[in-house]
Every structure is written in C-alpha cells, then in structure tokens.
Amino acid sequence: MPQAWFRFYAELNDFLPAERRQKEFPCEFRGRQSVKHLVESLGVPHTEVDLILINGEPCGFSRIVQDGDRVSVYPVFEALDVRPVSRVRSKPLRRSRFVADAHLGRLASYLRMLGFDTLYRNDFTDPELTAVSVSERRILLTRDRDLLKHKSITHGYYVRETAPRRQLLEVLRRFDLAGSVKPFTRCLRCNGPLGRISRRSAASDVPEMSRRYASRFLRCKSCGQLYWDGSHYRRMRSFVERLLAELSAAGAE
C-alpha cells in the first residue's frame, strides 16, 4: 500500500495524538487521495492550514499525494513573511469579522466589547454557521473540530482554551488583533454599531442617579440598547485595560 510521510508544525500538533506530535510519521492511503483529504483524515481541519509543502514545493489542497511524498503542513504564520510562497488559499485567512458557535457566547460578548464584528446566536445550527461563514466571509470560531472540516469553509479557527477570558486572549493573539481593538463601539446584545447621544436624549431611559453622574451615553443603532459610563462600564474598562496590558507584556517578551 502506498504511503506518504507527514510532518505538522506549531499548533497544528494540538490535533494529533501524542505519538505523532513534533515528528515525521507515515500515512498509508488507497487510490487517488488529495492532500486536503489526508490532512483532515489525520485530524487537522483544513481551515487551520495556511501552507503545505510536498517534497519542499508549495501546493494547493487539491494536489494528489504520491507514494513516498514528504508532506510538511504549516499553520498561519505570525512572524515569518511567506508572501512569496504559494499558500493553500487565494484570500487571506485573517479577518476581524467573526461568527461564533453556540458554545462561545461569552467569547462573542468579549469580542463585541472590544469592537469586533461578531455574530452569535445560541441556536445557530451547523448548516447556518457554515452558510454565514461562507457568504459573509467571516472567521468561524468553534470548539467543534468536525465543523471546520466542512469543505466549503475557508476561514475558521478551533478555539483551544475553555475559559472565556483565555479564549479571548487566544483569539486576539492568533489573529494579531491587539492593534485593532476599539472598545465599546459595538452592542453587546446584538452586535450593532453604537452611536453617541446627548444626556437629554438618554434622559427617559436612564435612572436619575446614573444620569446625574454619567458623562457618556451610547445607543445601539440596530436594536436601540442604551449604554452609559456607570459602574458596570468602569468594570469593563478595567477588564480591557488589564487585557491589553497582558497582550502588550506578552508581545514584548
């Protein structure tokens, strides 16, 4: 039976059993098999892959693997410039628009708080998530590896962490988003953009005590939800400041 030798790099090893991580290993196959099919049969969703080399030459997902081929599979590069190399996708993987699956509600709220366009419903079905990701070119964030193997999805990411705050840090680092943070510009409830309104316009919807001490009032242009800089806002602002400080410290290491 023909076989090819595979080696996965960096965080792609998260998807492999321990005995296959950080090393080259053989993969037997039958008939004509594309490199995409074999990569996913080994457990790695194609959306996590940004570059494949076969025998040292870059190739696309449709490349047919031959007996004896040596296949090197890489994730999105953070620091290394590989623009001269042919990646497996014609359009960039990284975009700051997301759609999150039903298990990532708190992460979706955090991303909205930081100003990132993030669609979320707790009743999204897999077909709906796939359709939204493809039609709107949104990065699909999920804890479901199999969902990312859907052939039509080109922009997706498997969230490794389970705690929401750590998930947020993971996504910000993965997509290099620290410099794109625009806190308190999106509605936490519906994802719509927020607009500044006057104290007078907010008067009927804000408790008198809050209205007296607040200095900034925002209303969602989509659902009408009102926000102001009360104690809850100050806690969120402190959360964002600590988060950005942590990202900055990590980047300086």
Nearest-5° Cα angle at 129, 127 to 130: 65
Question: Residue 114 above 80 pLDDT?
Answer: yes
For the chain, give the longest Cα–Cα distance.
78
Output the pLDDT for position 231: 82
Which of the two residues, 130 and 232, has the higher pLDDT score?
130
Quick: pLDDT tens for 16-66.
Answer: 999 999 999 999 999 999 999 999 999 999 999 989 999 999 999 999 999
Output the pLDDT for position 80: 41
- What is the C-alpha separation between 243 and 165, in angstroms, rounded? 9
Q: What is the mean pLDDT of the chain?
A: 89
Residue-range domains of the chain with CATH: 3-74 (3.10.20.30), 98-182 (3.40.50), 194-232 (no CATH)
- What is the C-alpha separation between 234 and 78, in angstroms, rounded? 33
Question: Residue 93 above 70 pLDDT?
Answer: no
Output the pLDDT for position 86: 54
The mean pLDDT of 97-106, rounded to a whole number, is: 96
Quick: pLDDT tens for 168-225.
Answer: 999 999 888 988 999 999 999 999 999 999 888 888 888 877 777 788 899 999 999 9
Output the pLDDT for position 76: 74
Question: Does the predicted model carry a pTM greater than 0.85?
Answer: no
Output the pLDDT for position 148: 94
Output the pLDDT for position 82: 45
Of the chain, the percentage scoring pLDDT greater than 90 comes to 72
Output the pLDDT for position 209: 72
The mean pLDDT of 155-177, rounded to a whole number, is: 94
Q: How confident is the model at residue 85 (pLDDT cuts 50, 70, 90)?
A: low
Output the pLDDT for position 95: 52
Show the DSSP H helices in the chain as ranges.
35-41, 105-113, 126-135, 164-174, 199-202, 208-213, 231-252
Closest to 132 (Cα-Cα) out of 146, 117, 144, 143: 117
